[in-house]
Amino acid sequence: MSEERVALIAGSSSGLGSMIARTLAAAGWHLCLNSRREGDKISKLRAECEAYGVRAFISAGDVKNRTEIERVVEETMARFGRVDALIHTVGPFIRERKWFVEHSPEEIEDLIGGNLLSAMWSTRAVLPHMRQAGWGRIILFGFGRAMEAPAWPDRSVYAAAKTGLVSFTKSLAVEEAPFGITVNMICPGDIVGEKKEMTIIEAAALTDKETPRGRPGSGEDVAKAVQFLLQESSDFVTGNMIQVTGGLDVIHPVSKRNQP
Closest C-alpha to 164, from 177, 147, 181? 147
CA–CA distance, 158 with 111 (Å, rounded to integer): 6
Answer yes or no: is 249 within a domain.
no
Q: CATH no. for residue 167?
A: 3.40.50.720
Answer yes or no: is 256 within a domain.
no
Per-residue pLDDT of the chain (260 residues; tens, 9 = 90+): 557 999 999 999 999 999 999 999 999 999 999 999 988 999 999 999 999 999 999 999 999 999 999 999 999 999 999 999 999 999 999 999 999 999 999 999 999 999 999 999 999 999 999 999 999 999 999 999 999 999 999 999 999 999 999 999 999 999 999 999 999 999 999 999 999 999 999 999 999 999 999 999 999 999 999 999 999 999 999 999 999 999 999 998 899 998 66
Answer yes or no: is 258 within a domain.
no
Specify the pLDDT at position 3: 78
Domain that holds residue 18: 6-244
Specify the pLDDT at position 2: 55
Answer yes or no: is 250 within a domain.
no
Answer yes or no: is 199 within a domain.
yes
Specify the pLDDT at position 66: 97
Backbone angles phi, psi at 155, to 5 degrees: -130, 30
CA–CA distance, 171 with 34 (Å, rounded to integer): 26
Overall number of domains in the chain? 1
Strands 6-10 and 85-88 come out as: parallel
Reduce the DSSP state of residue 184 to 3 states and report it.
strand
Exposed, middle or buried: residue 89 (CB in 10 Å: 0-12, 13-18, 19+)? buried
Answer yes or no: is 257 within a domain.
no
CA–CA distance, 216 with 204 (Å, rounded to integer): 7
- Which pTM does this prediction carry? 0.96
Answer yes or no: is 253 within a domain.
no
Answer yes or no: is 110 within a domain.
yes
CA–CA distance, 255 with 81 (Å, rounded to integer): 49
